[in-house]
Amino acid sequence: MLLTTCLWIAGGTVAALLLGALALHIIPRLGGAGRAFSDVLCRAPALDLLITYFTIAPMVAGPIIAGWAGLGAAIFGQCVALVIWEILHSLAHPRARKGPRILKVHNRALGPWRNYTAVWITAIAVPGFWIVRVCQWLVYPPLVWLVRLPPYRHADWVNVSRHKFEGLVGHDLIWCLYCDWMTGIWSLGSEMLRNVESFWCPIRFRSDKKCANCAVDFPDINSGWVAAGGTMAQVTDTLQSRYELGEATTGLSRRGEYHTWFGHPARLTINGKPHK
């Protein structure tokens, strides 16, 4: 009974994902309206729903139906659907399949089994990136309202476009789209964390090595954070001068500006207006 249920879960997952992929291929071929809708699906927030459908939804439905065995069946179905799509998409583009490909270079350099194994291992991180994305929607927005951290237009970060790159097909395309998606999420998350760190904890680490390593993603380490051997008076002075904080009861800067990280470049807010 459990085996039969798991087979249905795996088969249903394969069918649902392949039908979803087919729909994504058909939509941009439905004229101008279809292309416009396809572009909407390629960026947040619509992209978040698509990613959830293809990656997380099966891993939620499987366990609900059949526990841990259902989870395994759902993941198996996802893998099978991905391989089938890769094959069909490559067959549909014979010229690109026979031409220069990322897959061919890596297979020659590493050997096929090492290349394929390594790429599939990276898929384990998908739920992690999805959780980071959920935090960007649920955790950061209250900080914008409560302490005036700057808002961001998520679609400028979380979007995909590599499917438009000429000659990128099958295996290369799907994994490049994965990188496309996760890079935007990670970059947006880092941007948000820069604001959090500089606003609440502008103190350098005692480890010079850690400071050097983290300065790549948190440039304020070398652009205003107080030395590890400094004083709390320096820390409070830094906060007041960098953010021009008013009375503690207001929680707002004197000029009403967003509390960005110190080296924050001029960016567009969610309303399309520049802020400092």
Question: How many Cβ atoms sit within 10 Å of the Cβ of residue 144?
Answer: 18
Answer yes or no: is pLDDT of 273 > 80. no
Q: What is the pLDDT of residues 125-157, one digit of tens each?
A: 999 999 999 999 999 999 999 988 999 999 999
Per-residue pLDDT, 247: 54
Reference 184, options 39, 48, 62; nearest CA is: 48
To the nearest whole percent, how much of the chain has pLDDT over 70? 91
Q: How far apart are CA 186 and CA 156, in angstroms?
A: 13
Read off the DSSP letter of residue 159: B
| Mean pLDDT value across the chain | 91
Instruction: Report d(CA 220, CA 200) in Å as an integer.
Output: 12
Does residue 272 surpass a pLDDT of 50? no
Model confidence at 258, in pLDDT bands (50, 70, 90)?
confident
Residue 146 is predicted with a pLDDT of 92
Domain regions of the chain by residue span: 1-92, 201-275
What are the C-alpha distances in Å from 237 to residues 40, 148, 196, 234, 240?
Answer: 45, 19, 18, 5, 5
What SS3 state is found at 100? coil
Determine the pLDDT at residue 249.
42
- How far is residue 218 CA from its own chain's centroid? 19
Distances (CA, A) of 64 to 7, 68, 72, 87: 15, 9, 12, 31
Confidence band, pLDDT 50/70/90 cuts, at residue 202? very high
| pLDDT over 60 at 254, yes or no | no
pLDDT grade, residue 260 (50/70/90)? confident
Mean pLDDT of 68-97: 97
Cα distances from 82 to residues 46, 115, 174, in angstroms, run: 21, 16, 8
- Predicted confidence at residue 256, as pLDDT, reads 52
- What is the share, in percent, of the chain residues with pLDDT greater than 90? 83
Q: What is the DSSP letter of 263?
A: T
* Tens digit of each residue's pLDDT (9 = 90 or more) over 225-247: 999 999 999 999 998 888 876 55
Q: Is the pLDDT score of 274 beyond 50?
A: no
* pTM, 2 dp: 0.88
DSSP letter assigned to residue 54: I
- What is the pLDDT, as a whole number, of residue 89? 97
User: Would you say 97 and 169 are in contact if contact means Cβ atoms under 8 Å apart?
Assistant: yes
Which pLDDT does position 266 carry in this prediction? 42
Torsion of CA 183, 185, 187, 193, to 10 degrees: -150
State the average pLDDT over residues 65-76. Answer: 97
